[in-house]
Amino acid sequence: MTAHEQLVARRGRRSGVTTMVAIHSSALGPAVGGCRLKPYATLNQAIDDVLRLSAAMTAKCAVAGLAFGGGKSVIALEPGRVLSPAGRRDVLLDHADLVAEFGGGYLAGPDVGTGPADMLVLREVSAFAFCTPESAGGTGSSSGPAAVGVLAALRGALGSPDMTGRRVVISGYGSVGAHLAASLQQAGADVVVSDIDPAKRAGAEQGGLSWVEPEKALTLTADVVIPAAVGGVLSPETVARLDTPLVVGPANNQLTEDAVAEDLAARGVLWVPDYVASAGGILYTLSREAEGLDHEAALARVETIEKTVTDLLRAAKANATTPLREAAALAGRRLTSGAAPRTP
């Protein structure tokens, strides 16, 4: 993967909070990526996060066949700082000032800590924000399409849509995780969920889902494990304790390092690269808001993730390599050619 093209950080004139934008690649088009708002212990940690996430967005867009590059932005709060509504607005406006500096070279969307209403605040200063509320003419939350994309990736990995009797563990019961749980439960799967927020347990169990504590979620015996929360959850130590043949989920940057993909393969665990499985949200949003497709046509594009996964797994088997290596090679070819193929 190439080096980053730009990293710009600013101390907000209203809030005093540091915000930053990283553009990893614009080889295929304007850089696109979510805006993450969260506390960081140090500024270096925030920088590491924005650089890692923006590089993953480059690969995500390239493999998905999008004519967009990879970017990301971070609003780095000090640990323990709680924003009032007015303070949050100031922080977002400061960030919008930074996004506007790129003149359309970076397009922002929601990420951890932000949502459609926040994108509407960004729009007050910069036109370059996606996923504003539907009431304001945007596409709103991309959680539903993101879940559709994960389900498509799951079908591609299993080679079948049949989930009857399969035990699925979902680590992270947020908006995407909840969509996945409901869909898989309806399809006949035995769904177990987990989240660091214990308040979510009652609702999950009332919906007929099983609950497991977060520290045990990734090591339960299961047919499928779905990381749907934070990244960095698959380490050599975690992989050694996995008891599942398949890991596929929407969490970004699941591996602590790329070499963990080899550890997974050595243990006979099929891992679908996170940036492949998690592309549903960006595929849907850009199809609707950048290309003007209707809901059905945009969802049809999300469903193409199934074929992408099938092709990557076939290539990995033929070349005796890993899905990660094949996905990286595909992204590299598209970036080198400077043109992404149009998806159906």
Sort 167 into a burial class: Cβ within 10 Å, 0-12 / 13-18 / 19+. Answer: middle
Active site residue 72: yes
Question: Is residue 146 a contact partner of residue 176, using CB atoms and an 8 Å limit?
Answer: yes
Write out the DSSP string of 35-62. Answer: EEEEE-SSHHHHHHHHHHHHHHHHHHHH
* Long-range contacts of the stretch 131-136 (C-beta < 8 A, 24+): 131/285, 131/289
Cα 48 off chain centre by: 17
Best CA proximity match to 6, nearest among 71, 57, 99: 71
Contacts of 121 (CB under 8 A, 6+ apart): 89, 92, 93, 96
Beta-strand ranges (E) seen in the chain are: 6-11, 18-25, 31-39, 69-77, 106-110, 167-171, 190-194, 210-211, 224-227, 246-247, 270-271
243 DSSP 8-state letter: B
Amino acid found at 92: L
Question: Is residue 232 a contact partner of residue 256, using CB atoms and an 8 Å limit?
Answer: yes
A 10 A CB-CB count for 253 gives 17
- Helix axis angle, 280-289 relative to 43-64, nearest 10°? 70
- Beta-bridge mates of residue 36: 74
Dihedral sign computed on CA atoms, order 97, 39, 200, 305: positive
Q: Which of 60, 72, 216, 317 is catalytic?
A: 72
Q: Catalytic amino acids?
A: 72
